[in-house]
A and B are shown apart, each in its own frame.
Chain A
Amino acid sequence: MATERSDVDLIEGDVVHAFARAALLAALMGAAAIVTIPYPLSPAPVTLQVLVVFLAGLYLGPLWGGASIVLYLAAGAAGAPVFSGMTGGPGVLLAEPTAGFLWTFPVAAALVGLLVHRGTTLIDPADASLPLVVGSLGIGLVLIYAGGMVWFSWLTGTSIVEAGFAVAVPFVPADLLKLAAAIAIVRSGRIDPT
């Protein structure tokens, strides 16, 4: 077995700090899959995961927020039971009917982060104006739905409208509740973003 013989190249403190938060938020995203809300309309359980995507963008910014959700997807592909219904494995990302949502999660987190923080320098989201936060989360949610519907319609050969009825419409009310919760969390100012 080859051993590295070069000098130790330490990772900078601020990178370690941001990375640890991103990695643990990815684990929280996986843990959120077990907290289900009883919801009659949907065939799959409604989980907190979209809320965690919002929080990743809001509190980690565009760079580490997106990276955090990428870590979540990579861990799921490696077999961690982090996807809804506590499943994992590369097949879920490659072919599951709702994998379109998963693929758009990191993009949505990065977009929310970019819109709220207006760049890669982190600000406290509690200081951002309310319309900005609401608008950014709304755009993120629309993006997630677009990804999920396009993927489902491509995979199963249904039309976009049919895909919307199968995988989007049943979830809209629950996701709007999560959007409201994300705003309440930001306005509470109880999370330290640094």
Chain B
Amino acid sequence: MLTYEPGDTIVHRLDPRSKLAVQIGFAATALAHTTPRALVALSALTAVVLVVARVPLLETLYAYRFALVILALGPIVAAATLGSPWIDLDSGLTTALASYRVLLILLVSAAYVRTTPVRHSRAAIQRTIPGKPGQLLGIGVALVFRFLPVLQSDMRTIRDAMAARLGTERGAVDRLTTLGLLGLSRTFDRADRLSLALQARCFSWNPTLPPLSFSRRDAPVLSLSIVLVLTAFL
């Protein structure tokens, strides 16, 4: 599974906002250009990012395997035509190039996930989006990270309990209803307890934010993202 790994690469030490800017710049230019020449340049840039951030390629490709299946399906669906000549290679090739750039964007984004801890992403959100929405979004993202394993274990418990009672023999709608009903009521129980705990601890609109600052090494990365965004308009 693709997740944050502590490390001391240069990418780990960058400000999360510059890393996000590169993501957006890269995606913008990759979505704007599908010529083979542009894709060669973008592939080279992706390779540099992966090496600098020390992202393991095979592990990352495995993590995105379901997306890759759908990406591979695109060219096949596009190439298939009803009636003679049955296979339209040109249309399939266009879609294949379009699918390839998506793979590149996913690989570059893996570098962000691998090198950015949650508290950095949260600080970036709260400093970028002003006012109350930014506060709630930042805290909310942190809560999702915190409660994801808890609710995953709740869902596993419900699923195992159903299996132990031969719930697997029931119809699909019946099973979905039980899962949804029990999952939602457990979630709301936890939320109500959390809300009480938050209020007991003076949950406020103006907490002290985690420290975050641009440094000199962010300058070339930010410039790169601006260049990438501009190339989207070429």
Chain A interface (Cβ < 8 Å from any Cβ of B): 1, 3-4, 6, 8-11, 13, 16-17, 19-28, 30-32, 34-35, 37, 43-45, 48, 51-52, 55, 59, 67, 70-72, 74-75, 78-82, 84-92, 94-98, 152, 155-158, 162, 165-167, 177-178, 180-182, 184-185, 188, 190-192
23 A–B pairs (Cβ distance < 8 Å), ordered by A: A10-B202, A17-B195, A20-B143, A21-B191, A23-B147, A24-B143, A26-B140, A28-B183, A30-B144, A55-B184, A59-B188, A74-B141, A75-B148, A79-B118, A80-B141, A81-B3, A95-B27, A97-B102, A156-B74, A157-B78, A162-B77, A166-B73, A184-B177
With contact pairs A34-B155, A43-B66, A91-B23 given, residues A78 and B141 touching in the complex (Cβ less than 8 Å): yes
Taking a contact as CB atoms closer than 8 A, the residue among A25, A32, A55, A166 that contacts B77 in the complex is A166
- Nearest residue (CB) in A for B197 is A20
Interface size bucket, B side? 35 or more
Over the window 96-135 of chain B, the binary record of Cβ atoms lying under 8 Å from chain A Cβ atoms (1 yes, 0 no) is: 0011011001111110110010100110010000000000
- Taken together as a complex, chains A and B put the C-alpha atoms of A24 and B192 apart, in Å, by 10
- Taken together as a complex, chains A and B put the C-alpha atoms of A45 and B113 apart, in Å, by 23
- Other 8 A-B pairs with CB < 8 A, given A52-B180, A90-B109: A20-B194, A21-B192, A23-B147, A70-B137, A78-B145, A91-B110, A96-B102, A162-B78
6 A-B pairs closest in CB distance: A91-B109, A181-B176, A78-B121, A85-B66, A75-B144, A20-B195
B226 interface residue per 8 A CB criterion: no
Chain B interface (Cβ < 8 Å from any Cβ of A): 1-4, 20, 23-24, 27, 30-31, 34, 63-67, 69-71, 73-75, 77-78, 91, 94-95, 98-99, 101-102, 105-110, 112-113, 116, 118, 121-122, 125, 136-137, 139-141, 143-148, 150-152, 154-156, 159, 172-173, 175-177, 179-181, 183-185, 187-188, 190-192, 194-195, 198-199, 202-208, 211
Taking a contact as CB atoms closer than 8 A, the residue among B95, B105, B136 that contacts A158 in the complex is B95
- Nearest residue (CB) in B for A95 is B105
Contact B78 A27, beta carbon cutoff 8 Å: no
Contact A178 B176, beta carbon cutoff 8 Å: yes
Contact B145 A75, beta carbon cutoff 8 Å: yes
Contact B173 A184, beta carbon cutoff 8 Å: yes
Contact A92 B109, beta carbon cutoff 8 Å: yes
Residues of A within 8 A of B146 (CB): 27
Residues of B within 8 A of A25 (CB): 184, 187, 191
- Taken together as a complex, chains A and B put the C-alpha atoms of A90 and B121 apart, in Å, by 11
Taking a contact as CB atoms closer than 8 A, the residue among A11, A26, A178 that contacts B144 in the complex is A26
- Taken together as a complex, chains A and B put the C-alpha atoms of A167 and B175 apart, in Å, by 24
Contact A94 B27, beta carbon cutoff 8 Å: yes
- Taken together as a complex, chains A and B put the C-alpha atoms of A1 and B123 apart, in Å, by 13
A124 to B: closest C-beta gap in Å: 13
With contact pairs A27-B151, A88-B2 given, residues A55 and B27 touching in the complex (Cβ less than 8 Å): no
- Taken together as a complex, chains A and B put the C-alpha atoms of A3 and B180 apart, in Å, by 43
Contact B73 A43, beta carbon cutoff 8 Å: yes
Residues of B within 8 A of A9 (CB): 204-206
Residues of A within 8 A of B108 (CB): 91
With contact pairs A71-B140, A74-B141 given, residues A190 and B181 touching in the complex (Cβ less than 8 Å): yes
- Taken together as a complex, chains A and B put the C-alpha atoms of A32 and B176 apart, in Å, by 11
Residues of B within 8 A of A177 (CB): 172-173, 176
With contact pairs A75-B144, A90-B20, A94-B23 given, residues A191 and B184 touching in the complex (Cβ less than 8 Å): yes
Which of B64, B110, B141, B144 counts the most chain A CB atoms within 10 A?
A: B144
Residues of A within 8 A of B71 (CB): 97
B20 to A: closest C-beta gap in Å: 7
Contact B144 A97, beta carbon cutoff 8 Å: no
Contact A166 B70, beta carbon cutoff 8 Å: yes
Contact B116 A79, beta carbon cutoff 8 Å: yes
